[in-house]
Amino acid sequence: MSPSGLLKAGVGTRAITPPLGVELYRYEPNTPRKSRSARRAMLAHAVVIESGNTRVAIIAADLFSVSRELTEATQALLLEMTDIPPENVILCATHTHSAPETVSRIGGATLDSLYLQMLPRLFASSVMEAIDKLEEVNAYVGQATLNGLGVNRLQEDGYVDTAVQTLEFMGEGSDYVLFNFGCKPTSTPIDDLEIDPDFPHRARAILEAEYDTAVFLQGSCGDVNSVYAHNWETARCGQMLAGATLISVGQSELIDGNATLDCYQKTVQLPVVQHDTEDLMRHRDDMRLLVKAAPDHPFSEMLQKSSDEIYATAIARLEQSVSLTRACSVRIIRLGDVAIVAHPFKLFAEVALDIKRRSPFRQTFLVGLANDYLGYLTTSALLQSNLHFTDLPSYALGHTPLAPEATEVFVLEIIEMLQTLKA
């Protein structure tokens, strides 16, 4: 480990392109997308930060999601190989929709077990490379506003977190930048069959004309699509994101070289709804009516079959056991007056903006789809009223849907963690 007060950082990269024929994320239930080729290489980037006796690792992978099993296998390898404790490791997905799924869900893609078994070793290898490249650095934090890329996909004029946040590590022989923005990478059409990291790759490629490595961290994308979604505008989206990243870096500020590096992990228990069998049957019937009201929808038959299967499974599970809460792992890395909050949700923008507003830190990065995949975390009002974004996706993942009060519990727990780290 480095001498007290000496900040070090290093970055490693590994290719994680899956084999051809692997199934990509399914936009519509039971509608396979078997890959035919790889348009661009899929990558995993590892960033290791070290100060004194503390070492943390952030791994960002070109995947739709990461499972708890992938995370735990990677953490176990790193503990064995590097002595980095599991609580100091963040594994997150860029959320490209042209990648395999890693979490089983009803109606979802068939998982490729051999590919999933290989990933922890590749992730660990990227961390080992980053450790080998550790050097003394100066760290800079910045933020810029990006209007025109993200759009709320549920509400016209709905919330969008327009902040592009950056963390730059500049050493004697290297220069790395991490950039964080919340927007679903869905540039390609829903019937595209090519493996593709989407617009984060294009942004990284542009930035890497200036930096040794650029690492994208997905933000709060739950209700935010690109304005160019499914229109073959990967390049345009990447250019916009890279431009805002460069503006952020250009006006960034130096982080004190003696700044505290710390990591705090907590398992938060979120309340879930207490549905009984009659509730589930009523929700199933409501979904049938919604599907029946749109007979011309190209996937109406698929949606009907999938929702029936999901609710039948949920009813059977309810008869076996009843959960009162859902466990959610949250990790926060502190570097001076900067906090990086990693959580397993696709967080809605309004919730993210609330956390940032209430955070005691100068700048708070929110990194979603980290260390597990628990689906959407919406506003309390939407949890109470919208079946599509609450019941069905949760039950498809084998979870009981969150209760309306879960959002505020989540926010308060994170604020308490941030205040503890700040103290």
CB crowding 172-198: b at 16 or more within 10 Å, else e:
eebbbbbbbbbbbbbbbeeebbebbbb
For residues 34 and 181, membership in a common domain is answered with yes
pLDDT, averaged across the chain: 92
Ramachandran category for residue 49: left, alpha or beta (phi over 0 → left; psi -120 to 50 → alpha)? beta
Residues 54 and 125 in one domain: yes
Average pLDDT (16-41) is 92
So what's the pLDDT on residue 130? Answer: 98
| Amino acid letter, residue 389 | F
Closest CA to 180 of 265, 267, 245, 107: 245
Same domain membership, residue 413 and residue 350: no
pLDDT of residue 28: 81
Residue pLDDT, tens place only, 224-258? 999 999 999 999 999 999 999 999 999 999 998 78
Contact 137, 256 (CB under 8 A): no
125-173 tens-digit pLDDT: 999 999 999 999 999 999 999 999 999 998 888 999 999 999 999 999 8
- pLDDT of 219: 98
Residues 291 and 199 in one domain: no
Whether 39 maps to a domain, the answer reads yes
**Inside any domain, residue 303:** yes
pLDDT of residue 421: 96
- Alpha carbon 176 to its chain's center: 20
Q: What is the band of 311 on the pLDDT scale with cuts at 50, 70, 90?
A: confident
Number of domains observed in the structure of the chain: 2
Q: Are residues 56 and 193 in the same domain?
A: yes
Residue 117 lies in a domain: yes
Q: How far apart (Å, rounded) are the C-alpha atoms in residues 142 and 251?
A: 6
Q: Is residue 372 part of a domain?
A: no
Segments forming the whole domain that contains residue 126: 7-261+330-367
Beta strands in 153-223 (DSSP E): 163-171, 175-181, 194-195, 213-218
Model confidence band, residue 124 (pLDDT cutoffs 50, 70, 90):
very high
Same structural domain for residues 147 and 271?
Answer: no
Whether 376 is covered by a domain: the verdict is no
Asked whether residue 14 is assigned to any structural domain, the reply reads yes
pLDDT of amino acid 294: 66
> Are both 322 and 219 inside the same structural domain?
no
Indicate the pLDDT class of residue 390, thresholds 50, 70 and 90. Answer: low
The answer to whether residue 106 scores a pLDDT higher than 90 is no
Q: Which of 316, 341, 319 is nearest to 330 (CA)?
A: 341
Q: What percent of the chain has pLDDT above 70? A: 94
State the pLDDT confidence band at 274, using cuts at 50, 70 and 90: confident
Do both 55 and 114 map to the same domain? yes
Distance CA 219, CA 183 (A): 7
Query: What HEC string does 322-384 produce?
Result: CCCEEEEEEEEEEECCEEEEECCCEECHHHHHHHHHHCCCCEEEEECCECCCCCEECCHHHHH
pLDDT band at 113 (very low <50, low <70, confident <90, very high): very high
pLDDT above 90 coverage of the chain, percent: 75
373 within domain boundaries: no
Residue 178 confidence (pLDDT) above 80: yes
The more confident residue out of 41 and 304 is 41
Q: Would you say residue 2 lies in a domain?
A: no
| Residue 382, pLDDT above cutoff 90 | no
